[in-house]
Amino acid sequence: IPCAWCGYNHRAISQTATYSVGSKAATVLHKDVLRAVLTCGGCGGKTVFQLENGYGLSYLPGKDILVELNPKVPTDSQEMYEEAKLCFFGAAYRAAAGMGRACLEQALVKRGFPHGQLEEKIDEAKKQGVLGNREYSLAHGSRLVGNDSIHKSKDIDQARLLAALAAAATVTNHLFP
């Protein structure tokens, strides 16, 4: 199996999986889904795959789809984003959305906006000119997906999650260029 990170043909040296028998997702999709992570024996990169109804193997996006954080981003925000990525690779999409939201909030705190709910922090950063219109919209988008994952017990699909993580990383990088 070619690694999505380095191209090396590798075998799975570790695997984390969830099986959705009887879950809401399986009911909606009318199929059972096994999601897992292959770890490359060459570079250690992770490749997510999905197996549907015992066949129909699909490889999900790897490194090229995830936005990386700038080295100047504070360590605690970096750690939260790394946890979000680990949750993504483990197919724990709601947890990943929550950690992406936490990364954004921590970045705003470190940038000087410690008071209020995340919505208020974003609004204040916009008011003070720290966030432009684009970053303001991205921050609220990431916040709303994170809120859905934490407070509303909504399923978060891969497309919404990747958009929310990219938004959180983009805004965080803007705060710490």
31, pLDDT greater than 90: no
The whole-number pLDDT of residue 144 equals 96
The whole-number pLDDT of residue 60 equals 57
Average pLDDT value over all residues in the chain: 81
Highest-scoring range by mean pLDDT, 14-23, 48-57, 118-127: 118-127
C-alpha–C-alpha distance, residues 13 and 45, integer Å: 11
Answer yes or no: pTM beyond 0.85: no
In this prediction, what percent of the chain has a pLDDT beyond 70? 69
Q: Are 49 and 58 in contact (CB under 8 A)?
A: yes
- CA torsion 83-88-94-96 (nearest 10°) is 30
Cβ of 141: how many Cβ atoms within 10 Å? 17
The candidate with the shortest Cα–Cα distance to 164, out of 94, 109, 111, is: 94
Q: Are 89 and 81 in contact (CB under 8 A)?
A: no
C-alpha–C-alpha distance, residues 12 and 62, integer Å: 15
28, pLDDT greater than 70: no
136, pLDDT greater than 80: yes
Cβ of 111: how many Cβ atoms within 10 Å? 19
